[in-house]
Amino acid sequence: MKSSLTLILACLYTSLGAAETKPNVIFILADDIGYGDFGCYGATKIRTPHADKLASQGRRFTDAHAPSAVCTPTRYAFMTGEYAWRKQGTGILPGTAGLIIEPGRTTVPSLLKRAGYVTAVIGKWHLGLGKTPTDYNTEIKPGPLEIGFDYAWIIPATGDRTPCVWVENHRVVNLDPGDPIKLDYSVQRGEPRSFVGGIPRIGEQLGGKAALWKDDMIADVLAEKSIKFIEDNKTKPFFLYLATHDIHVPRVPNSRFRGTSEAGIRGDSVHSFDWTLGRVLDTLDRLKLTDNTLVIVTSDNGGVLDTNGATDNVNSGDQKTNNGHAHNGVLRGNKGSAYEGGTRVPFIARWPGHIQPGTSGALISHVDMLSTFASLTQQKLAEADAPDSQNILPALIEGKAGRATLVEHGNVLALRSGDWKYLVSGAGAGKKNQEKAKFPKKPELYDLSKDLGETTNVADQNPEIVAKMAKLLAEIQAKGGRR
């Protein structure tokens, strides 16, 4: 009897895709990569051989979503398993904002650290640092290390926001104490005082000259730091959260990438991202870690063809040179929008021997990663942890169905339920936001099985479905999130 029970448990363990040794986990979050930016998702004017190869070796998802249509709330939801719209202060942050995730809370890195993983974040942070206003001239706490990471090499906010310096763990790298950093966010991008390194930023930065990053070397630095972390921890289970920046403005790809795509500087920046991905994958191959590493590649929101302000002097978003490339494919909307183009993003997962190559239409989201990694490492979450996160490991490993419903967030909320997409009235977003982002002024309903581009609002023809989805969304909002 005992041996039979042991056999049953062993079979169950194998069916869940768990490895006898803990798999390394690499989560690569691109910045502003759209649904149509990879060759494996239909791009023809941009070449992404490394992303395409990864997709051929793993599972490519066609209905995966960032939790929000912009950066900070997506990163918050990924880290905590909670929709960012549930918490005040989780919008796009300035570089002076304090940490918005409270230390002691269960996060993706703290969960994996508890399971014996060495954890690192390398790249764009944008979740706040220290206490508001952040003092970059001293030890910066709390930060990534206080919420579960063992190592951090980060861009504090974004490339177009000051400060333009690297932070390693608790300190600005190469900061001269005699040249302290002073930030002024009353300075608007494009004003003479906003220029740092010849590029207009949001906010002024005085001081910190020796610590300034070189914009055209950001991809190289992130690749090298990632490779070193993998090499240093090749004998241990590790979690690497690599958050790249290439496609976000200001787009300043290294000269070796300029002119390599047929979609202008933005396309060249996607080439830069794919190069970084290739460096990481090559490192896994060289160190013979590929077979025991789960690699996930996705994006923080949909794509957008924007410029770095009116005084953009680095050709950050020249629409004439985009050459007809559809960064979000057939999807309506862009970064910031509640339409599918705002949140539906590429999502590729590879784990040789566990994930069979193929394509999945399962509805999944980055907010699900915390519960999924808990299942992967056979850990239990407390009832209060990750309130909106669902375990999608069966979808990743076995190709099974994903979520039944998902809330999409782009200033206004939208609800997915099967093929139905419901958008609430845009009145709550304010007139300025309605005009700027063209949010709906009344409820909208789309049948995505027939109208993936959301061209025909069928709300008036289906009032019972509108009422049902409005009620369901209200219930999800009211219950506060319980898995």
User: Which secondary structure element, helix H or strand E, spans residue 340, and what is its range?
Assistant: helix 340-343
d(CA 248, CA 252): 9
Place of tokens 């630095």: 221
Q: Which of 340, 366, 401 is the last residue of a domain?
A: 401
With respect to residue 13, please indicate whether it lies within any of the assigned structural domains: no
d(CA 24, CA 120): 12
- Residue 105 and residue 25 share a domain: yes
Confidence check: pLDDT of 405 > 80: yes
CB 226 within 8 A of CB 277: no
Chain-centroid distance of CA 15 in Å reads: 29
User: What's the pLDDT tens digit per position in 46-105?
Assistant: 999 999 999 999 999 999 999 999 999 999 999 999 999 999 999 999 999 999 999 999
Please report which confidence band the pLDDT of residue 314 belongs to, taking 50, 70 and 90 as the band edges: low
Say whether 347 sits in a helix, a strand or coil: strand
The proportion of the chain whose per-residue pLDDT surpasses 70, expressed as a percent, equals 89
Crossing angle (nearest 10°) for helices 369-376 and 71-80: 30
Confidence check: pLDDT of 39 > 90: yes
Does residue 77 or residue 16 have the better pLDDT? 77
Report phi then psi at 313, rounded to 5.
Answer: -120, 15
- Residue 419 and residue 392 share a domain: no
User: What's the pLDDT tens digit per position in 179-206?
Assistant: 999 999 999 999 999 999 999 999 999 9
d(CA 250, CA 420): 36
With respect to residue 268, please indicate whether it lies within any of the assigned structural domains: yes
With respect to residue 321, please indicate whether it lies within any of the assigned structural domains: yes
What's the confidence (pLDDT) of residue 386?
97
Q: Which two structure tokens, joined as six digits, stand for 123?
A: 């790249």
User: What's the pLDDT tens digit per position in 364-404?
Assistant: 999 999 999 999 999 999 999 999 999 999 999 999 999 99
What's the confidence (pLDDT) of residue 283?
99
> Cis bond leading into 142, ω under 30°?
yes
Q: Which of 382, 401, 420 is the last residue of a domain?
A: 401
The mean per-residue pLDDT over the stretch 293-302 comes to 99
The answer to pTM > 0.85 is: yes
Q: Give ∠ CA 95-411-462 in degrees, rounded to 5.
A: 165
Average pLDDT, the chain: 92
- Residue 147 and residue 66 share a domain: yes
When divided into structural domains, the chain yields a total of 2
CB 266 within 8 A of CB 43: no
Encoded amino acid at 376, one letter: L
- CA separation (Å) from 367 to 68, 138, 294? 10, 33, 17
Q: Which of 370, 401, 432 is the last residue of a domain?
A: 401
CATH number of domain containing 429:
3.30.1120.10
Domain range for 302: 21-176+212-401
Task: Tell me the Cα Rg of the chain.
Answer: 22
With respect to residue 9, please indicate whether it lies within any of the assigned structural domains: no
